[in-house]
């Protein structure tokens, strides 16, 4: 199916390569071996569709999935029967039965959650699995050092929870020279040494590339699965996953002293030809990339000119043959050269934010996988 056909009535097309996601998971699995390689599917698999991504990864052999919210876990369980699904944001008050009803495992982030999950297990008369999150410096979620001391002094509060996985989360793993990662790892090992023996989970996407010391028993890659570079100081070891193509709606000739877009923010310096494209910040192209980002048209780079608006961007196509940059032609907004990382950099943000902001107005096309 051609991009033009797949577009249908939409202004732009988002193509998601499930085979590339599976290949990235396999690369990460090999890099972190012999640890099990899980998959983080929070935020609807970083905006790319938790159901199709989850099915493709499960078919490839992934057996541990992670989401942020309870509702995300419930939705994922509806399409995945066997793999374990861990809810990273923890156990919501009074809703323990919802987790067991959908066979979900909470990350236990504070003593109250541990007590509630253990109590629920005792009420059911069966052991319930749990990931116990030990904070080692992120200072976001997880048991504080004082909480860890109390748990080490009285591990009986864990009675009813099993099997247990000890987990932590790295704050600076993408910065390979930052000493914080090693400091966190040392804190984690000291904490775990005082607790009942159990598997451990440490590394996120970038953490996998810090070396075997960080692999533990289970890795938790997220962004790298979707093509984001987990090693920003080195070439990207991951396959590209997404392509965004948008229609050229109109072209026009302009000359000085004409201006372009809201706020008359761009003043034309000479004769030029502009193309207006059917994508904007409502579709995840950040307004902050105005005057800094670019698109690709028929192999040419066309810089964004003027402010990005909600539904439209305008690009300079003066140097592109008119037959190639004409109404109805497609401009590549994301792709092999214009990666989410690159667009994020042009907007002063990160590729993660680009993917999770892509929005609902695209025609979506999945290629490969089990779809």
Catalogue the active-site residues: 42, 262
Rounded Cα distance between 293 and 305, Å, is 9
CB of 171 within 8 A of CB of 184?
A: yes
Strand, helix or coil for residue 367? strand
Rounded Cα distance between 165 and 153, Å, is 18
CB of 327 within 8 A of CB of 248?
A: yes
User: 9 labelled as ligand-binding?
Assistant: no
Rounded Cα distance between 313 and 304, Å, is 7
Rounded Cα distance between 174 and 206, Å, is 5
User: 182 labelled as ligand-binding?
Assistant: no
Largest CA distance in the chain: 78
Residues near 14 by beta carbon (within 8 Å), at least 6 away in sequence: 242, 243, 244, 358, 362, 363, 364, 365
Cα end-to-end span (Å), the chain = 15
CB of 340 within 8 A of CB of 240?
A: no
CB of 275 within 8 A of CB of 297?
A: yes
Rounded Cα distance between 262 and 273, Å, is 18
- Phi, psi at 133, each rounded to 5°: -90, 120
Binding residues for substrate: 140, 310
């Amino acid at each position: 199916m051609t991009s033009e056909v797949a577009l249908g009535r939409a202004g732009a097309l988002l193509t998601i390569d499930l085979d590339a996601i599976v290949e990235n998971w396999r690369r990460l699995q090999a890099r972190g071996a012999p640890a099990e390689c899980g998959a983080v599917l929070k935020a609807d698999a970083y905006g790319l569709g938790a159901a199709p991504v989850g099915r493709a990864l499960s078919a490839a052999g992934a057996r541990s999935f992670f989401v942020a919210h309870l509702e995300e876990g419930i939705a994922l369980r509806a399409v995945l029967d066997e793999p374990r699904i861990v809810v990273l944001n923890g156990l919501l008050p009074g809703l323990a039965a919802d987790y067991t009803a959908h066979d979900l495992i909470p990350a236990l982030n504070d003593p109250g959650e541990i007590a509630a999950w253990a109590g629920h297990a005792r009420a059911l008369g069966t052991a319930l699995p749990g990931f116990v999150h030990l904070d080692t410096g992120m200072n976001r979620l997880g048991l504080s050092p004082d909480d860890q001391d109390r748990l080490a002094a009285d591990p009986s509060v864990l009675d009813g929870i099993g099997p247990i996985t000890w987990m932590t989360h790295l704050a600076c793993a993408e910065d390979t020279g930052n000493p914080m990662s090693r400091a966190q790892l040392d804190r984690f090992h000291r904490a775990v040494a005082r607790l009942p023996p159990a598997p451990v989970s440490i590394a996120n996407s970038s953490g996998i590339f810090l070396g075997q010391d960080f692999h533990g028993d289970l890795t938790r890659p997220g962004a790298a699965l979707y093509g984001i570079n987990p090693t920003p100081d080195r070439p990207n070891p991951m396959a590209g996953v997404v392509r965004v193509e948008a229609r050229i709606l109109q072209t026009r000739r302009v000359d000085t002293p004409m201006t372009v877009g809201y706020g008359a923010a761009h003043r034309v310096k000479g004769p030029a030809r502009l193309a207006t494209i059917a994508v904007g910040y409502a579709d995840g192209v950040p307004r902050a990339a105005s005057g800094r980002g670019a698109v690709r048209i028929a192999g040419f780079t066309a810089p964004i000119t003027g402010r990005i608006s909600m539904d439209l961007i305008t690009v300079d196509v003066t140097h592109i043959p008119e037959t190639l940059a004409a109404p109805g032609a497609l401009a590549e907004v994301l792709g092999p050269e214009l990666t989410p990382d690159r667009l994020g950099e042009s907007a002063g943000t990160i590729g993660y934010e680009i993917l999770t902001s892509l929005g609902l107005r695209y025609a979506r096309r999945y290629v490969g996988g089990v779809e």
